[in-house]
Amino acid sequence: MTEGNFVDYVKIHVASGKGGQGSAHLRREKYITKGGPDGGDGGRGGHIILKGNKNLWTLFHLKFKRHARAEHGSHGSKQRSSGADGADQYIEVPLGTVVRDTETEEILFEITDDGEERIVAQGGKGGLGNWNFKSSTNQTPRYAQPGIDGQEVDVTLELKILADVGLVGFPNAGKSTLLSVITAAKPKIADYEFTTLKPNLGIVEYREFKTFVVADIPGIIEGAAEGKGIGHRFLRHIERNSTLLFLVPADAPDIIKQYEILLDELRRYNPEMLDKDRLIAISKSDMLDEELKAELKVILDKGLKAPYLFISSVAQQGLMELKDKLWEMLNTETA
C-alpha cells in the first residue's frame, strides 16, 4: 500500500430509491363487467448498504466516487401485480470503518466483520394498490398510495485500522525501519522528520507459521493532541490495537521523559488508550556497549513503569526477543 493510495477519511452523499406508486386499476374484461379494484402495490426503493470487505485496507476506491444512488421501486400494475423492488446499492469498505452523519457528527455504526452489511439509507416503501382499500362500503376505490421518498444523507467514512500492535514514537525513532525489518512492508525511510506521512501496516511472521499485524503511524510530537505535527490525525489508528509498542531511541537526551511525553499525548487524546498493554523498545541500541547498557538499565528500572528491552533494527539485535514478548502479550490479552 503506497502513501498516495492510503485514504482513511472520505465524505460521500448517498440517496436511496423512492418507493413505486401503487396502482388504482379497475378490472375490466369482456365477461366480467364489474371486476372491481385489482391495482397492485409499488415496489420498495433500493437501499444504500455498506458491506465489510477484509481484503480492503483503505477507502481509496471511494476517493473519486462521492455519490451513491440506488434504484427506485417500480409501480404496481393490474391483476394485483406488485412492482419490482429497486436494486440495492452496495458500498464495500474495509473493516474498522466508522460511519458518521456528516451534519450532526453522530456515529451511526461501524463495520468490523467481513461480509457485515448495514443499511445507511433506507429505501422508500412502495405505495399500496387500490385493492387494499376495498371494503363493503367502498367497493370501487379509485385511488392508491404514492411511494414514499427515499433518504438522502451525507455520511463521513472514517477508517480505524484493525491491527494487533501499534507503534508509537517521536519522528525518527526508527518505527518505519523496525516495520521494514520484522515484516514485508516497505515504508519510506529517510533521515529527516515526518518521513512517514500515512499509516503503514505489516504482517509479522512468528514461530510455527503464526502471524500478527503491526501498524506504524506518523511520528508524534509534544502537543499532537492539540493538533501539532501530523501524528494527531492518525492517533485513531492505534485506538483498536490491543498492545502499544513505544519506540524510544537510545540516543535520546532523556528516554524516560520522551516516554512520558508520548504517554501524556495518548492520555490527552483518549484516556482509554492507557488501559492497553504497553511495551517499550529502546531502538538504535547497537550504539551502546555493554557498560552503557548496564548503566542505562539502572536508570530505566527506577523510572519506567512498563517492561522494556533493547533492540536494533539495523544490526538485527533483540528482534526475536521483541517478537516473543509481543506474542506473549497478545496471547495473554486474547486468552
Residue 223 annotated in ligand binding: no
187 marked as binding residue: no
The answer on whether 194 is annotated among ligand-binding residues is yes
Question: Between helices 290-303 and 255-269, what is the axis angle to 10°?
Answer: 40
Q: Is 176 annotated as a binding residue?
A: yes
The answer to whether residues 277 and 242 touch, using CB atoms and an 8 Å cutoff, is yes
* Residue 77 annotated as lining a ligand binding site: no
CB atoms within 10 A of CB 105: 8
* Residue 23 among known ligand-binding residues: no
Domain ranges of the chain: 1-160, 165-331
Residue recorded with cell 385489482: 38
Residue 29 CB-density burial (10 A; 0-12 exposed, 13-18 middle, 19+ buried): exposed
Q: Is 174 labelled as part of a ligand binding site?
A: yes
Tell whether 53 is in a known binding site. no
> What pLDDT score was predicted for residue 194?
47
Residues 6+ apart with CB under 8 A from 56: 92, 93, 94, 95
- Residue 171 marked in a binding site: yes
**Residue 303 labeled ligand binder:** no
How is 278-311 classified by DSSP, letter by letter?
EEEEEESGGG--HHHHHHHHHHHHHH--S-EEE-
What's at 292, amino acid-wise?
L
* Domain 165-331: assigned CATH number: 3.40.50.300
Residue whose C-alpha cell reads 517478537 in the numeric block? 323
DSSP, res 147: P
Q: Are strands 32-37 and 26-29 parallel, antiparallel or unpaired?
A: antiparallel
173 is in an annotated binding site: yes
Residue 114: the pLDDT is 92
pTM (2 decimals)?
A: 0.69
Cell numbers placing 318: 533483540
81 a known binding residue?
no
Please indicate if the annotation marks 140 as binding a ligand.
no
Q: Helices 319-334 & 175-182, crossing angle to 10 degrees?
A: 90
What is the SS3 string spanning 40-62?
CCCCCCCCEEEEECCCCCCCHHH
The answer to the question of whether 164 is labelled as a binding residue is no
pLDDT of residue 50: 96
The reply, when asked if residue 271 is annotated as ligand binding, is no
> Which one of 3.50.50.60, 4.10.91.20, 2.70.210.12, 3.40.190.10 gives the CATH number of domain 1-160?
2.70.210.12
pLDDT score of 190 = 45
Task: Give which of 95, 177, 78, 183 is closest to 130, Cα–Cα.
Answer: 78
Residue 242 counted as an annotated binding residue = no
For residue 43, say whether it is annotated as part of any ligand binding site. no
CA end-to-end distance (rounded Å), the chain? 31
Instruction: Determine whether the annotation assigns residue 170 to a binding site.
Output: yes
Q: Known binder of ligand: residue 37?
A: no
Per-10-residue mean pLDDT, the chain, length 335 = 63 96 87 83 96 88 91 93 94 92 92 94 95 88 93 92 83 81 64 55 83 79 53 69 89 89 86 89 88 88 88 88 91 58
User: How far is 204 from 224, CA to CA, in rounded Å?
Assistant: 28
312 is in an annotated binding site: yes
Cβ-contact 233, 219 below 8 angstroms: no
The C-alpha cell at 243 is: 498492545
- The answer on whether 58 is annotated among ligand-binding residues is no
Phi, psi of 267 (to 5 degrees): -65, -40
Place of cell 499509516: 199
- For residues 319 and 317, give the distance between their C-alpha atoms in angstroms, rounded to a whole number: 6
Which residues are registered as beta bridge partners of 317?
A: 312
Residue 330 among known ligand-binding residues: no
